[in-house]
Structure 1
Amino acid sequence: MTVPKGMTERVLLAGGAGFIGSNMADRLLERGAEVVVLDNLQTGREENIDHLRSHGNFDFVAHDVIEPLPAAVLKGRFTHVYNLACAASPPAYQADPEHTMLTNVLGTRNLLRLAEAQGARFLLTSTSEVYGDPEAHPQREEYRGNVSCTGPRACYDEGKRAAETLAFDFDRLGRAEVRVVRIFNTYGPRMDPDDGRVVSNVICQALSGAPITVYGDGSQTRSFCYVDDLVEGILRLMAHDGPQPGPVNIGNPHELTVSDLVERVLRLTDSDSRIVEQPLPEDDPRRRKPDIGHAKALLGWSPKVSLEDGLKATIPYFAAQLRRDEPVMRFAAAGGERTSLAAAE
C-alpha cells in the first residue's frame, strides 16, 4: 500500500525489539514513518531499540501478542502491521513450544484482526522452515514442503504454516490485505550471541578461541542473507500494490556448506580454533537454498551484500559483545547443549 501524499506512514512492528525487527525499525524511522514496537522481550532485547527511545516518531509497548492487544495498540490507527513476533532459532522456540505455536496462531490472528479493523496492510514474516527438510532444490514458493508435524521443530515449522493459512484466508475473504515473506537464513549485527544460529555460534567460538561446534559433518548447506538486504526485500514486498502475489522467498541464493562458512570465519577472525563435530539435530534440513525468481520479477529485488562483506560487518559486533558481556559470550562460544546448527532466520 502506497501511503497517500501528505499522510504519515504509521507502523505497528510486532517483534520489533528482535534482530530483524530492530533493523526494520531503523529503516522505517529513517524514511519518516511513525513506528510502534510491540514486543514481550522473550527473545527481543531492549538494547536493540534503546537508541530509538528518544526519537519523536518511536514508541514501545511491552506486550505478548498471544494476549488481547492493549488499548494503546487498538487505538493506534496504523497504516501497516508487520508481524515479526516469534522466536526464530531452535533453542529459543523449542524452550517453550506451546508458546511458539500460540504466537504463530493466536498472535497472528490478533494482529490480522487489528489490520482488518483499521484497514491496514498486513505482512507476515514466515520462514524457509515451511519447506522442512526439502526434497526439492532450490526451494520455490510452489513447493509444499517436507515437514514433520510431530518432531521437535514442528511448533515453529507447523506454526508458521498455520500462520500463513490464517493470513491467506483473511486475504481471500477480503478481511485484510496481506503480504507473506518466507525468510531464509539471515545474519548481521544485533543477532543474539546465545541464540544457537550457525553464524553467531561460529563467530563467537572463533573470536573466543574455543572449539567450533559443527553439527553433522559440515556438508549440509545454507544460504546466508545479510540483514540489510533482507529488510530491503521485506519493505519492497509490503509496498507492492496489485493482486495478491502469494508467498515470496527473500534470501540469498548463494549456497555454501557449513564447513565453507567455518573456513571463512576462521580466516576473517585470524582464529586457530579447532573444529568439533556433534550429531545433527533431529529434522535439521540438509540443504537450504531459495529460488528468488519471484522476488526478482515482482519486486526487482536481489541481495547486494556479499558474504565476505557481510561477515566483515558482523564480526566487529560480536567482538564488542564479547568485550561487554563476557559471561553470555562464554556460553555461546562453548557451543552448549542448547545450541543447534540451523535457525529459520
Structure 2
Amino acid sequence: MKRILITGAAGFLGSHLCDRFINEGFFVIAMDNFITGDSKNISHLLSHPNFEFIEHDVTEFISIAGKVDYILHFASPASPIDYLKIPIQTLKAGSLGTHNLLGLAKAKKARILIASTSEVYGDPLVHPQPETYYGNVSTIGPRGVYDEAKRFQESITMAYHRFHGLETRIARIFNTYGPRMRLNDGRVIPAFIGQILRRERLTVFGDGSQTRSFCYIDDQVEGIYRLLFSDYNKPVNIGNPKEITILDFAKEISKLTDNDTQLTFKQLPKDDPLQRQPDITLAKELLNWEPKVDRSEGIKKTFDYFRDLPDDVLYKKEHKSFEKHIKR
C-alpha cells in the first residue's frame, strides 16, 4: 500500500485531499497543528484503518517512521485574516516548513507536491495569468508575508529538484471554495454566505470591479491528484477560468435566499489584486483537466453546508487557535 503524508490535513483543502487519497486506496498520514485547521474536518477519518494523524508544526523537525511514497505540503495560513494576524507563522510555514518537508522527501525518496498559489502573481499586469508570468508583488506590503512565502516555496522546491534530483510538483492554486471552509476566514464566498445567513449587508471592497475566478473543491482536488502523478515538475495553474466581478458575484449569490440583500462598500485593502483569472492551457494539455462543476451548482452545495452549521459557528468571529501561536 502506498503511503502519503498530507500536511495541513485538517484544513479546507487538506481534509478533502485526505478523503480522496483514502478512497484511492492509500495509507494517509495526516499532519496539522490546528493553527487554522479544524479537527472536525477529519474526525470522520480517525477510525479508518488506513489513516493516521500526527499533531505537529511543520516548521519544526519532521520525523516519520516507515516509508513515505508521496508528500502533499498544504500547511499554511491561506486567507487574508489568517496571514495578517499571524504573519511570522505564515512566512515560517512557507520557508522552514517547506525546507523540512523537502528534506523529508529527499530522505524517504518520496515525490512531493507543494501547494503554491495564484498570489505569486500579485496584482497582475498580464491577464489572464499564465505560468510564464513572473508577477507583480510588493515584498514589503501586508500581503507580502503570504505572497513571498509562496514564491520562496517555489524557488526552494525547484532548487531541490535541480540540485538533488528530487521529484517535485508545484500546484498554483486559484480561488477554491466548498464545504469545510471556515465561515469567518475573510475569503469572498464564506464571507458572503455568512452575511446572508446572519441577514447582514454584503460587504464589497472597493467598487466591486475587481475580479475573481472560483473553482469548486472537487475540481481542485482532481487537478491536484492528476498533477501529482504527472511527469511535469514546473508550476501548473489549477483553477477555474470563468471570471466574474465581485459586484456581480455579490448580486448573484444574494439570490440564494428570498431576502432583499443590501450591499455596503468599504475601502479596498492594500495590494488587493484587481484581476484574477487563470490561464489553464497547460493543465488542459498536460493533465487533460479542466473544471466540471458549474458555479451555480458549487455555490448551492457550499451554501447548504454553511446553512446547517450551528449558530455558535455562524456568529463566531475569530479562530480560537490564533492565541497560542500569535507570539511565536
Partner of 1:269 in structure 2? 257
Partner of 2:12 in structure 1? 19
Partner of 2:185 in structure 1? 195
Rounded to whole Å, the distance in 1 between the matches of 2:223 and 2:134 is 22
Matched position secondary structure for 1:262: helix
Q: Does 1:253 align with 2:238?
A: no
Q: Does 1:143 align with 2:133?
A: yes
Rounded to whole Å, the distance in 1 between the matches of 2:197 and 2:145 is 33
Rounded to whole Å, the distance in 2 between the matches of 1:278 and 1:109 is 39
Return the offset for 1:94: 1.3
Rounded to whole Å, the distance in 1 between the matches of 2:84 and 2:258 is 34
The counterpart of 1:34, out of the listed 23, 27, 36, is 27
Return the offset for 1:183: 0.2
Partner of 1:108 in structure 2? 98
Q: Deviations over 1:63-98 (max 9, x none)?
A: 0000111x4x2x231100000000100110111111
1:1-345 mapped onto 2 (5 Å cutoff): 8-69=1-62, 71=63, 73=64, 75-241=65-231, 244-321=232-309, 324=310, 326-331=311-316
Rounded to whole Å, the distance in 1 between the matches of 2:50 and 2:286 is 30
Matched position secondary structure for 2:164: coil
Gaps of 5+ in 1: 1-7, 335-345
Rounded to whole Å, the distance in 2 between the matches of 1:104 and 1:245 is 18
Q: Does the 8 Å CA contact 2:168/2:233 hold for their aligned counterparts?
A: no
Q: Does the 8 Å CA contact 2:171/2:235 hold for their aligned counterparts?
A: yes
Q: Does the 8 Å CA contact 1:209/1:272 hold for their aligned counterparts?
A: no
Q: Deviations over 1:96-147 (max 9, x none)?
A: 1111101100000000000000010000000000000000000000000000
CA RMSD of aligned residues (A): 1.2
Q: Does the 8 Å CA contact 1:205/1:273 hold for their aligned counterparts?
A: no
What amino acid maps onto 1:226 in structure 2? Answer: Y
TM-score by length of 2: 0.95
Rounded to whole Å, the distance in 1 between the matches of 2:234 and 2:248 is 33
Q: Deviations over 1:211-268 (max 9, x none)?
A: 1111111111000000000000000000113xx4410000000000111211121112
Matched position secondary structure for 1:173: helix
1:261/1:133 Cα in 2 relative to 1: closer, same or farther (>3 Å)? same
Matched position secondary structure for 2:256: helix
Rounded to whole Å, the distance in 1 between the matches of 2:79 and 2:245 is 19
Return the offset for 1:159: 0.4
Q: Does the 8 Å CA contact 1:253/1:289 hold for their aligned counterparts?
A: yes
TM-score by length of 1: 0.90
Aligned length: 318
Rounded to whole Å, the distance in 1 between the matches of 2:146 and 2:197 is 30
Partner of 1:340 in structure 2? none
Rounded to whole Å, the distance in 1 between the matches of 2:121 and 2:33 is 28
What amino acid maps onto 2:307 in structure 1? Answer: A
Q: Does the 8 Å CA contact 1:18/1:44 hold for their aligned counterparts?
A: yes
Rounded to whole Å, the distance in 1 between the matches of 2:37 and 2:53 is 12
Rounded to whole Å, the distance in 2 between the matches of 1:217 and 1:284 is 13
Return the offset for 1:327: 3.6
Q: Deviations over 1:304-342 (max 9, x none)?
A: 001000001100111012xx1x2442255x9xxxxxxxx
Q: Does the 8 Å CA contact 1:125/1:183 hold for their aligned counterparts?
A: yes
Rounded to whole Å, the distance in 1 between the matches of 2:83 and 2:75 is 12
Rounded to whole Å, the distance in 2 between the matches of 1:62 and 1:245 is 29
Rounded to whole Å, the distance in 1 between the matches of 2:67 and 2:93 is 23
Return the offset for 1:175: 4.0
